[in-house]
């Protein structure tokens, strides 16, 4: 959020498009939600201006393209999305909020072009510690979404969301008869597809490599 202005353009564009393009609610209700977002757009753009510091040049270029696309959507496509709304007061408020949002975005785009882009000299590569932290966060988030983590008792979830392994002395064991029956079934089902295990005991390492 402090290096890439493209994030702000994407957030604003996706938020407005989701309300304008999908008919999940009556047009008047969605228009009021768009009105609320448009009224907050100048403050949102000001946050982008305050937060973005020392961005890489390629990030500024991508941010400009995204912001220009969002600006075209607000200017041209957004009014057509609510053409069937009959509330003149709501339409007037939308037009006023739209004009304020357009002015704020044009001002920010000009700032990126004339002020920030010429002095954008930072590297787009992430530092080693930040990249390692990103990988740890993504791995933990991906694991928390799995059924294994959700089904694990809270006491078995270790640090970082990884379940603790079951102690050996508390491992579940099947009765001798059931274990033998399961082993026989497993051996019959895999006998035709699994090659016989090689007895490596007494076999020189060179021979093991050749056989493998």
Question: Mind listing the pLDDT tens digit of every residue in the chain (212 residues)?
Answer: 677 899 999 999 999 999 988 989 999 999 999 999 999 999 999 999 999 888 888 888 999 999 999 999 999 999 899 988 999 999 999 999 999 999 999 999 999 999 888 887 766 565 676 667 767 877 776 666 655 555 555 655 554 454 454 444 444 555 555 555 555 555 554 444 444 444 445 444 544 444 33
Structure tokens that stand for 149 in this block = 């983590």
In a domain, 83, yes or no: yes
In a domain, 76, yes or no: yes
In a domain, 161, yes or no: no
In a domain, 89, yes or no: yes
Looking at residue 58, what is its pLDDT?
Answer: 87
In a domain, 52, yes or no: yes
Q: Are 104 and 37 in contact (CB under 8 A)?
A: no
Cα–Cα dist 189/182, whole Å: 11
In a domain, 166, yes or no: no
Looking at residue 191, what is its pLDDT?
Answer: 45
The residue segments making up the domain with residue 115 are: 6-119
Please tell me whether residue 157 adopts helix, strand or coil conformation. strand
How many folded domains does the chain comprise? Answer: 1
Looking at residue 133, what is its pLDDT?
Answer: 75
In a domain, 59, yes or no: yes
Cα–Cα dist 161/181, whole Å: 36
């Amino acid at each position: 959020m402090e290096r890439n202005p493209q994030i702000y353009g994407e957030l604003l564009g996706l938020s407005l498009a989701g309300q304008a393009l999908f008919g999940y609610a009556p047009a008047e209700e969605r228009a009021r939600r768009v009105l609320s977002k448009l009224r907050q757009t100048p403050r949102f753009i000001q946050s982008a201006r305050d937060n973005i510091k020392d961005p890489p040049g390629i990030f500024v270029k991508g941010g400009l393209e995204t912001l220009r696309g969002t600006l075209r959507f607000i200017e041209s496509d957004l009014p057509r999305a609510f053409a069937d709304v009959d509330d003149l007061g709501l339409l007037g408020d939308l037009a006023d909020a739209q004009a304020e949002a357009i002015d704020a975005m044009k001002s920010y785009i000009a700032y990126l072009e004339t002020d920030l882009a010429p002095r954008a000299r930072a590297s787009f590569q992430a530092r080693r510690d930040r990249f390692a932290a990103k990988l740890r966060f993504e791995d933990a988030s991906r694991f928390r979404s799995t059924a294994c983590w959700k089904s694990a008792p809270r006491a078995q979830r270790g640090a970082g969301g990884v379940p603790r392994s079951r102690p050996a002395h508390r491992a579940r064991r099947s009765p001798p008869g059931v274990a033998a029956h399961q082993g026989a079934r497993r051996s019959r089902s895999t006998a035709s597809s699994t090659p016989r295990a090689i007895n490596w005991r007494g076999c020189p390492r060179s021979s093991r490599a050749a056989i493998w």
